Every structure is written in structure tokens, then in C-alpha cells.
Structure 1
Amino acid sequence: MTSLVDSLTASGGGESAGFLNDIVAQLWPNINVAAAGIAKNVVDPILASTLPGPLSSIHFVKLDLGHVPMKFSNVDVHKTATDGIKLDLDLTWEGACDIELDGNHVPKIGIEKVHLKGRLSVLLCPLTNVIPLIGAAQVAFINPPSLKLDFTDAANIADSFLIKNAVRNTILGIVSSMAVLPNRFLVKLDANCDYFKTYHPHLGVLRLTIEKATNLGVSNEGEKKSKTSRLLSKLKLKDVPDCYVKVNIGAEGEWRTSVQSNNHNPEWNETHDFLVADYEQSIAVDIQDDDLAGDDDIGIGHTTIKKILLNGGSQKLSLTHKDEPTNAEITMHAKFYNFVSDASLLSAQDAGGKDQICGLVTILIASALGLDGQRNELNPSVKVTWSGKEFVTGAKTYTPGVDIFNPTFDQAFKIPLTADMLANAESFKISLLNKNQETGSVEVAFQDVTSAPGMVKEDSFDVGNGAVVRASISVRGIQLSE
């Protein structure tokens, strides 16, 4: 197995992306049309289901990305462990757009400029010996991108600011759910590409410990105070903060420490496990003052998984408040665990706490075959149930060109394993649904997966009534990386 340091320093260095920018510039009119289709077919339904109240009627009525194409730079090319090619590259877009959204009982919203910046990861896999030589492309931002929207003044009412904020935050949420690691936007280049060979597994687990913070709300003696220092000094005089830390890595769920009351130098020594999709993923820490009237920001710090591991697994971060430096610091520690297909390591020995991860279950749902019925009455999806958790693929609907009797899903579900789950490992249940009604199912014993070669059970599972679901269930243990 490659050492952790070798994996972290495998980059060959950034290269120019001039040729890619030339291609994108030529394709920009086509990209413009494709984006309008994605907005109508993908984004509009999500806006309807996520925006609150009357805002749920908001939808795109016009989407023109303008004449300024996206720019790429600093391209880094890697070979992946799953027989593919990985490109990391910076994306910058200063778009001069003409975008309009409208809805019932809300003003029309216009967007004239989009400022987008982030680092992309593009996976090209699997590699084949048949043209186009690449089975699929998967695109994702390594970390949540920076997005700023310049709105027109069409919505000239008192609550337009709230509407615009809701739209911006919802768009960022859509981007995160579709294309911020660990989520990847999949485009099949070969219609016959096998999803099981396309899927890119997580690298491992980061066990992160928030140790302590110092000088929260404390400024240096004799220092000319900035606005932030004066604010924090007022905080010190008025109230000693009750602090907790919010930690975010990629699009994974946020973790919060406990609250340490009345302390400028709180200590937590609390640990949480995060799934890692890329070593360049950012670790964002945000210290908050717990307050009944609304929590206040005290300080924010950033590092990356790569930086803290190359620093020996410990790092002290200086904190900023509203982009101004403070005297506050936070200390944290990290260990990295690889996922391994070794049943002897699938135990609770590495789980130091009740909810810490000691393994990972990954369920891939590729397709269903042999469905029966009237095509206009079919609305199939697949549900996976295990250890009290349920996951459902997107439902498919017949449209011309879609084989609704043999639908493709190409979705992955991940379940971090804990000691309690292993102690009571029940069978996996795979159910075929039509309009949310179960039409058939199959159960797969946990032991059948762990005893399979490589701890991967891959099959076309018979769910009854002549239908099968093509699925893969894998189990991984963890091993401390050195």
C-alpha cells in the first residue's frame, strides 16, 4: 500500500489550460443551450421543493449565460487507483448573463452577473480500448465554490433582499448536492459503461479532534484596535463567551462540539470522524458564541486535510473575524485511516467512541431489468434499507428514448459503520418500487457480503415478478495510515 506521505505529495505540479480554454470558448454557445436544459429539467424541480412558502413557485423564465466563457487554469493530472485519470483545475467565471426567474406573488428576479470561483476535480474512468476510450466523466468541486450574484433592480420591494438571499443559498445548495465532493455529476461517454467500474470510492476516514482555542475576544495590549478588535473587546467586557465549534468538510454534514461556558480559552478535546473524498478538501472551523438571542461569530479558520496531515497531524490555526485578523487561535489534531477489504480489520478496535467510524458500507444501484406493465404507468425507483436507514434512488418516468422497462439509476449510497451496527448487523433489503409502492424485494445477509471475494457482493438480484435489480454491496474496514 502506498504510504500516506506519497499519496499526499503525488501531484506533478500545475500546468496551463490554454488549449482547454480555447475549446470551451468554441463550445460556449452549445454550453449555453445545455445549461438552459439543465435549469428546466433539474434545477426548477429542486427550487420548487426547497424554497419556502410562495417562493416555491419561482422558476427560470430566461437563462442566457452571455458571451463570456468560463476560464480554467492550474491543471494537475493524476492516475487514480481505480484505473482512471483525475484532473484538478481552477475554474473562474465572471459571467455577464441575462437570467430571469419568476413566480406567483413574488417579483421577477433578474441576474446580470455571476462571479463563480472554485477548484474542480474531473474523473475520467473507466479507461477502455474502444473509442471514445473513456467510459464516463464525473465533475465536482473539491470544496464549496465561491458564488456571488449581481441582481437587477427589477424586484423593488422591501423583502427583495430576503428573496435574493434565498435564491442564492438555494442555488449553492443545489450545486453542493449535485457537484461538491463527495457528490459528483456523472456524464456517461459510453452508453454501455458499467457504473460499478465508474464509481470512485472514498479514500478513507479523517479522525479530527478539536483540542482547544485561546484568546477568544482578547486583543493585544497597546495594539491599535481594528473594528473587529473593538467588537471583541466589547464582547469581553459585556459577557465571557459560551463557545462551541462548527466543523465542515465538503458537502458532508456539519459537526458541532459541545458548548464550553464562560471561557476565553475553552478546551473541548472532542473527536469526530469525516469521510474523505479528496486530500485537498477544506476543513472549515467556525467558533460561535452560544446566545439565546442568536449565536455570534467569534472566529473562522481554514486548512486542508492535506496540510494538517503533512504537518504531522496537528495544526494551530489563526482565526479571523469578518476577514480581519484576531489574536485567537484554535488547536486541532487529525489521524487518517485507509479503507481496506480485510475482514479481520472490520471490528470496533479502531473506534474510540460510540459514534466513531470503524468501517463503511457502500451500495451501488446500477439498474433494474425486466419490469412489466404499461410504460406510461411505470415510475420505478429502488429503495435500500439497512440498520434503520433508508435510501431511495430517483424515480424514472417514460419519455421517448428511455427504456422504462430496464431503467438505469447509477446511484451510490454510503453508510458509515459504527460498533453498534456491527454488533447487530442485519440483512440488507433491496426493494423495487413503482410510484412508491413496493413491487418486489430481496434480502442479502451481511455475512454474505463480508465473506464474498474482496468483501463485495455484486449481482443481478431477483426481486420477484421476473424483475431483477443490478446492485453492488461492499464493506470496508479501516486501518491507520502510516
Structure 2
Amino acid sequence: MENLASNIRQKLTGTSFDTPSEKSSPTGPSILNDFRKIQMPTAKMGLGSTEGDLIYMVKKYLEIVGLVVFVWILGYYHFSVSWILLIVFIYLFRQHQRTQFKERHKMLTEINKNEEHYIKARLEELPSWVFFPDVERAEWVNRIIKQAWPYANKYIDKAIFRDVMVPMIRGTHPALADFSFEKLDLGEIPPRIGGVKVYTDNIRDQIMMDIEVFYAGDAHIKSKVKGIVCGVKDIQFVGDLRVILSPLINTIPLFGAVTYFFLRKPSIDFKLTDAGTLVDIPGLNDLMLVQINDIVASMMVLPNRQVFPLVADLQVGYLRYSNPQGVVRVIVLQARDLVKSDITLLGKGKSDPFVKVKAQGNEYKTKTINNTSEPHWNEVFEFVIEQNETDSVEFEVYDEDPGKDDFIGRAQFPINTLLDKEAVTTWLTLKDVKKGSINVCLQYFTLTTEKSALDIIEQTNNQMIKQEKLSKALLVVFIDRCANLPRSKKTRREPNPFCTIQVDTNEVKTHTFESQTNPLFEHISHILCSNPVQQQLKIQVHDARSNNEVIAYFEIPVKQILNMDTMTIDSQEFPLKSSSEPLDRASIVLRLSLHVLSPVRSSSSPVQLPSPTNSLRSFDSFAKQNSLTDSSNKSSLEHNSSIDRTPSDHQHHLDPISEHFTPSHDKTLLVSDDPDLESAPFGQIKLGIRYTVNRKSLSVTIYACKNLIHVHNQSLPDAYIRVYLMPDFKKDKKKTKSVHDSTSPVYDDLFEWSAPLNDIHRQHLFISVKNNSPLFGNEQTYMGDIQVDLSNLDPEKNSIAWYALHEPNTSSAGLIKIKYDPNDQNTSHF
């Protein structure tokens, strides 16, 4: 007992005391005196024990009192109840946004504090170096950044915020002429690097790195305009930064300059303080975030880049611009079996779907199709591609609503799978939703300076689609600088110049400079031209200080660039004009280059002009043919168990999935040769199973069923199929559409799971056929199931075969291996 008292006393007081040498009774007075001597830690107990708790309670009390008084005032002055409902809606919506913001901030903060613990807790949000072996973990770099972060504050304060951002912000609008930073505290938490991927095989004289950067620190920044102080805190930043060390030289530091830019628009979020809380309401806050993202994009998102020279007298001007690698044409055709997010009074769902198409930092939107889950869009979008090895085309489907649009699925397609194909038409399974797929057509065009290619692309465009202005060439405009710009006529002050680059309706804007007559823009723009022979390039110089007045302009026909030997006008100075008065020595330095789109030709296809008889047919007829595919498939099944179908002649070359899963290419195992199908009392199901290596994706196509059991004496079943990937992906369940009144339904539904091949080999497919029975009906629900073992999955083979269904809810059949056709010697390498 004496030892226990001694230990407790040492833990709580940090001191030791003498114990009696004689043993005493457990209940003796010495022990009681020892416990009385124990000093408990001083702390206040109970509600409001600390100053922070008291402040929190006061703030909460004032919020409630203010809300009650405000509602009382509305009632006292007989305001409509609609105002109360509107205010409550805004309050709840803002609370929801704040909760999401806090969750994101907490997540990134936890990663900064203890990455290992967070990884174990949140396996679904691992950094890229976990999934991709070519992305390396850069923990040693994070340690260096953390150690040097306090010393970097002063440099970032002067070199970035005060020398770069202050003049730029002042030049955007006359009202911001006195903008300044009142407080600039970047805090103690530094930015963090998630992973680094190094490219050394692309170009010999450069080293290229992709760096994942994210920041969720404790920075607090305050700015002042017109005497009003506005601040931001809890800044969140996530982006993919590309760093290029080029050119490599034989003297220290071994490379002449550092070029850095973001591959796509980074994600930026923050919380407003001081006077900024007045605009921290839905709508205005989102508008401000859009403006900030646009400013960052105009400076550091492709095709714009920043160059930091390291060696004097080294020509690095060419590093500020680069020609893109190609153009991707995307045709959003249709969708099927979309989630019905709107519930009507009669209980039937509906959706008003539209699609957002994203690539290379650009985003386009289709029109909205009302009241359907099977929409047809048939719209074309084109994207300039800077890096075709790593970029993807992303599709996000939404249900348009008066308030916030409902998300009903997303899909993506890697661009590198298009590089050796003429055209790809495929169905993509929508992710993050229970069902739905989208039908798209994609085509990749390389860029060439051969003038003869203009005739090829013109005929290709005319034969592919009607009533659309498709691009034939890409114009790259690099504005280096302007000189001797005119001053304001009234005030004689130097202008705040910015430029707009325009070809027909396509317009691009540069960033704005403050009080400059010789601004150094170094801005690059990519403009797609539908008719380079007749179109005109017009560059206008505006003064933001004078309500964006045009103070000078320059015009040149695109045909003049086309007629150059290399289709390039390299860094030439042109005189500027003015519509009001002649300009003295005002000029602009430009680099202009034109590139003709060239369709990709497969190795077996000779490069020649397409003829009307064998070229791509018109898009209208393709859309019509595509919409009739399902009905023709259903009728053919009733007469032929192999389900032969006619392929679409628009699909000159299909992607790794659609090429092998198009039934005209199928080599289905014969029913008579398969002993597993001799006795199938619960029916049969036709499956297509394939793994695509370069996409790291397992694709499973549910083609059809036949000879399904009857679930009711008086009606045929309404069969649908559930697909699970067990055991690691059991939560990601897939579902086909329901086919009414049929024992031989046709589905043709494609499902995908993204995972490495080694992980897929440890899984098995669980496929269950069910009847879509009424809510209070007495019909049977389960009609049969099957489990397919994926341990023998071969990425170089494609399996399309019939399988026998077994009694539902039993494990008597066990796992069945994937069936491959032994006579099919064709392999494919994708």
C-alpha cells in the first residue's frame, strides 16, 4: 500500500516523499495521512470551466437571441412567411457548406500530422504513390520543406505576394488601385508533397517531374482596399504541378532554367474573415472562387507556364511556349438506364440529364434533355491536348434542378488509348452510382505542318458530321510583349493593359498589368480554327483603368500564316493600330504558328484521301442506327441463341473493350461443346470477361440470359441481374436494367472495376439473376446465380461464353473458372 501511495504521489505531483521504515496497518493513520498529502492537479471542473468554453457559449447565445429577435421583427412588421423560409434555406445551405469545408480541412490536417495513421483509417483516399509504382513517395522532401518553411515566409511575402500579386490585382480594376496586404502570416504548417513521378525518356535535354501538392495550413492573410479590411484563413489547395528542368548544360547547376505549371486547374478553397464575411453567402462566395481560379489559370495552368532562369545570358524564351501534342474530338451520343433522381407525386422517377465534358482544364456542357433516363444528345466538343500520356477525358452526368444539380454518375476515358486508333465508340459505365452508362465517340488528331493535310481533314469533317463547324487547324498565339502603349487621353496616366485574342467567336483574355506602357505578357493561347483560309486573327489591347477601352489592336489573316513555309511567324514585331488616332511607335511582339489536324491512321490503313463510298458516314445516320441497336438485338435472340448482330460501320477502330465485346467480333463457346451446359434447369447466362492492362480495369459484359425459370403461373418474369466483385469490392454492386416479360432477356450492359491485375486474381464474380417483383406480390425474387473464379484471368485473352445458372442461395456449385475458347489463338495487346 505504501508503494501504491508513493507511485500515485509521484505521478500527480512529480515529487517524492519519505516513507516510514516500519510496516503499518493497511488502515493505519500513516496511510491516510499519505493520501491527504497527495496534491491533485489544479483544474476547473464543470460547465464554462475554461475561457474558450465561455466564449463559445456566449457566441452561441448571441446567435440564438439574434435569430429570435430577427424573426420577431419580421412578424412585427408583417413580412411574408416566404422571407422566413428563404432565410432558413440559406442558413441551412450555408451550414451544410461549412460542415463540408471543416471535414475537408480536418482530413488534410490529419494527413499533415500523421500520414500513416490516416492511411490505415481511410484506405479509399490513399495518395497516388500507393497505387502507382512509378510514383515515388517524397517524405524526405516534406521534412526539408517543414524545416525551411519559417525561413521561406519572408521570401514568399516579397517575391510573390507584394512584387507579383499586388501589382496584378491593382491592375485589374480602378477600384483596386490602393490594394495592399495588411497581414501576411503563412503559419507553421507547410505545404506537402504527396508523390513525385519523374520522366527522363521523353526528351534528352530535359528532366520532367509531376508533383502532387496540397496545402491545408494555418495561414492567415488580411488585405485592405479603400480602408476596408478583408481576410482569409483555413486555406485549402490541391493541384498537380509539373516541373521541367531544361535545358541540361555541362556547368553548375547542370540545367539552365526551371519551368513550372499546373497540368489542370488546382482546387482552391478558403474561409473569409473580417469584412469578407459579408459576402460569404451562397452564390457570391462561389463567384469569387471562380475568379480566383481564373487568375491562377491565366498564369500557371497549361498552356501558360512560369520560367525561372538559373543561368545568365542563356536563351530560355522558347521555354515559355510549346506546341500541343494533339486534339481530341469528343461526341456525346446518348445514355441509358440513368438514375432517376427526381421523385414525382405518382412515385415514378424522372431526370433532366446533361453532361459536363472535361479535359485539359477545359469544360463544356451539353444541352439538357427533360424527363428521360434514356437521353440522346449528339453533341461535339473538341479539346487541345498538351500531355496525351497522362490526361483523360472526364464525363460527369447531372440532373438539372432549379437549385443545385444532382450528380448521377461519372466516367473517364484515358487519352493514351486513342493514339493508335482512328476512332473509338464505346459505352462507359458510370461510377459512384448504382447504374447507368454513357455512349461516347472519341477521335484523336495529331498536328502537322503539311499543307496537303488540310484537304484530308476537310473531307473527313464533311463526311463525319453535318450541321457542325468542326475544326481543321490549331492556331498557337504567343504574345511576348507590347511597347509604347498610349497613355490615357484625359488623365495622361499609364494604362492597366490586357489583351484579348479573337478568332470569330473564340476569345481568350490575358492577365492585366498595373500602370505599364511596356507590359511583358508572355501569354500563350490555343485557338481552334474551322476555316483557316478565310478566318482573321484579331488582338486588341484594352485599358482596365478606362472601363476596358480598346487602346490599340492588331489584325492578320490566318491564311497569311498558312502560306508560310513552316506555317510559323517566329517572334516578330508588328505595329499596333488605333481606331481613334495614329499611334507612334506602338508595337506588339508575337509568335504565331498554325497546325493542321491530321486523323490518326492505323498501321494497316494507307494514308490517302477518304472516298465517299468507304469513309465515315454522316453522324445523323449513325445516331439513328445506334438508337435501333437494342431492338434488333432482342429480335435476333429469339431466332438465334448466339445473338449475332450487325456492327456499326462508324466504328472503324474500337477501344480495348468495345473491339472485343462487339458481338460481330465474338467467338462464343458452342453450347454443344460445353458439358457444363448439358443440364441447366435454372437457365443460362452469357458473359464477357476481359482485363485491360493499360487501363488497369476489369470489364464484365452481361450479354443475355435464356431459358430462365418461371416465377409465376400467369406471367413471365421481369428479370434483372446483380453483379458483385467479391470479397474486396462487395460494396460496389452493379445492376442491369430490368427486361419485362421475358425468359430470354437481352442486356448488353458493361461494368468495370479499376484495380491491379494481382488484386483481381484474388477476387471472384458473384452474379445473381432476380425478378423485379411487385412490392406486395407473391412472386419469387431469386431466379439463379453463379460464381466465377478470376484466378485464371488472362489479360491477353477475351472470354465470351455461356454459363449455367444454379439454384439461388446455395453454394453447391462452387466457383467456376473463366471459360476460354481453346481454338481461338488470337491475342491482343492493349
Do residues 329 (structure 1) and 450 (structure 2) align?
A: no
**Aligned position for 2:318:** 196
User: CA separation of 1:62/1:237 partners in 2, compared to 1, >3 Å: closer, same or farther?
Assistant: farther
C-alpha spacing 1:308/1:316, structure 2 compared with 1 (3 Å): farther
Within 5 Å, which residues of 2 pair with 1:227-376?
A: 237=347, 240-252=350-362, 254-279=363-388, 280-291=390-401, 293-294=402-403, 296-306=405-415, 309=418, 313=424, 316-319=427-430, 325-347=433-455, 348-351=458-461, 352-353=464-465, 354-368=468-482
CA distance in 2, matches of 1:461, 1:181: 25
Contact persistence 1:182–1:251 (CA under 8 A): no
Shift of 1:137: 3.0
* Distance in 2, Cα, partners of 1:106 & 1:377: 25
In 1, distance between residues paired with 2:386 and 2:138? Answer: 24
Tell which structure's C-alpha radius of gyration is larger.
2
Whichever residue aligns with residue 308 of structure 2, its letter is V
* CA positional deviation for 1:155: 7.0
Deviation at 1:306, TM superposition (A): 3.4
- TM-aligned CA distance change 1:268 to 1:176, over 3 Å: same
Distance in 1 of aligned mates of 2:485 and 2:352: 58
Deviates more, 1:31-40 or 1:351-360: 31-40
Q: Is structure 2 residue 149 aligned with structure 1 residue 28?
A: yes
Matched-pair contact (CA < 8 Å) for 1:143–1:250: yes
Q: Displacement of 1:388 after TM fit?
A: 6.5
Question: Among residues 598, 607, 610, which one is paired with 1:479 in the alignment?
Answer: 598
Distance 1:397 1:290 in 2: 41
Do the aligned partners of 2:330 and 2:380 also contact (CA within 8 Å) in 1? yes
Who is 1:7 aligned against? none
Residue-pair matches, total: 441
Letter in 1 for 2:528: P
* Alpha-carbon distance in 1 for matches of 2:184, 2:256: 30
CA contact (8 A) 2:328 2:442 kept: yes
Q: Deviations 1:72-100 (Å, cap 9, x if unpaired)?
A: 22322245559543211222323222233
Is 1:142 matched up with 2:250?
A: no
Larger CA deviation: 267-276 vs 186-195: 186-195
Give the conservation status (yes or no) of the 8 Å contact 2:231–2:276. Answer: no
Could you list the per-position Cα deviations for residues 223-269 of structure 1 after superposition, in whole angstroms to 9, with x for gaps in the alignment? xxxxxxxx5556993652232212222432x3222332321122223
- Do residues 457 (structure 1) and 566 (structure 2) align? no
State the one-letter code of the partner of 1:288: Y
Distance 2:202 2:275 in 1: 48
Q: Percent identity?
A: 23
Distance 2:288 2:508 in 1: 27
Amino acid corresponding to residue 327 of structure 1 in structure 2: K
**Which structure has more strand as a fraction of its residues?**
1
More helix as a share of residues: 2
CA contact (8 A) 1:136 1:198 kept: no
How has the CA–CA distance of structure 1 residues 27 and 170 changed in structure 2, closer, same or farther, with 3 Å as cutoff? farther
CA distance, structure 2, for counterparts of residue 129 and residue 470 of structure 1: 32
Alignment partners' CA distance in 2, 1:160 and 1:357:
42
Deviation at residue 151 of structure 1 after TM alignment: 5.9
Give SS of 1:93's match. Answer: strand
CA–CA separation in structure 1 for the residues paired with 2:177 and 2:205: 43
SS at match of 1:453: coil
What is the CA deviation profile of residues 265-296 of structure 1, one whole-angstrom value per residue up to 9, with x for unaligned ones?
222232211111223334332323345x3463
Task: Give the Cα–Cα distance (whole angstroms) in 2 for the partners of residues 21 and 100 of structure 1.
Answer: 27
Structure 2 gap ranges (5+): 1-131, 577-583, 603-830
Name the CA shift for 1:362/1:190 in 2 (closer, same or farther; >3 Å).
Answer: farther
Q: Is the 8 A contact 2:300 2:306 kept in 1?
A: yes
Residue identity in the other structure for 1:367: R
Alignment of 1:72-221 (within 5 A): 72=193, 73-80=195-202, 84-101=206-223, 108-111=230-233, 113-127=234-248, 132-149=253-270, 160-162=280-282, 165-190=286-311, 193-218=315-340
Task: Determine the structure 2 residue equivalent to 1:228.
Answer: none
Counterpart-to-counterpart distance in 2, 1:459 and 1:140: 22
Q: CA shift at 1:392, angstroms? A: 6.4
1:204–1:262 CA distance, 2 compared to 1 (3 A): same
Q: TM-score, normalised by structure 1?
A: 0.73
CA distance in 1, matches of 2:419, 2:345: 36
Of 260-269 and 466-475, more deviation after overlay is shown by 466-475
Change beyond 3 A, Cα 1:469–1:44 = closer
**1:67 partner letter:** E
CA distance in 1, matches of 2:551, 2:351: 52
State the distance in 2 between where 1:17 and 1:49 align.
38
Distance change (3 Å), C-alpha of 1:429 and 1:110: closer
2:526 to 414, 422, 435: 414
C-alpha separation in 1, matches of 2:221 and 2:205? 40
Q: Contact 2:534/2:558 (CA < 8 Å) preserved in 1?
A: no
Q: How far 1:333 moved relative to its partner?
A: 2.9
| Change beyond 3 A, Cα 1:187–1:349 | farther
User: Take 1:87 and 1:156, find their aligned partners in 2: how far apart are those partners?
Assistant: 37
2:303 aligns to what SS in structure 1? Answer: coil
* Kept after mapping to 2: 8 A contact 1:314/1:334: yes
Q: CA deviation at 1:128?
A: 5.0
3-state secondary structure, aligned to 1:88: strand
Specify which structure has the bigger relative contact order, considering alpha-carbon pairs within 8 angstroms and separated by 6 or more residues: 1
SS in 2 for 1:237: coil
The code of the aligned residue for 2:454 comes to L
Q: Deviations over 1:334-353 (max 9, x none)?
A: 22111111111124234345
Q: Which amino acid is the alignment partner of residue 413 of structure 1?
A: S
Q: In structure 2, how many angstroms separate the alpha carbons of the residues matched to 1:371 and 1:155? A: 37
Secondary structure in 1 matching 2:436 = strand
Indicate conservation of the 8 Å contact 1:289/1:295, yes or no: no
Q: Deviations over 1:337-379 (max 9, x none)?
A: 1111111112423434533221101122223568899xx9665
Mapped to 1, the partners of 2:594 and 2:281 lie a distance apart of 47
Deviation per CA, 1:146-199: give whole Å up to 9, x if none: 4443566x6797864446555544433433333333333443445653423431
The answer to which of 311-320 and 132-141 deviates more is 311-320
Q: Cα offset for 1:21?
A: 3.6
Verify the 8 A CA contact 1:46 1:174 in the aligned structure 2: no
What CA distance in whole angstroms lies between the structure 1 residues aligned with 2:260 and 2:525?
A: 18
Instruction: Please report the RMSD computed on the Cα atoms of aligned residues, expressed in angstroms.
Output: 4.4
1:35–1:242 Cα change, 3 Å? same
User: CA 1:432 to 1:81, structure 2 compared with 1: closer, same or farther past 3 Å?
Assistant: farther
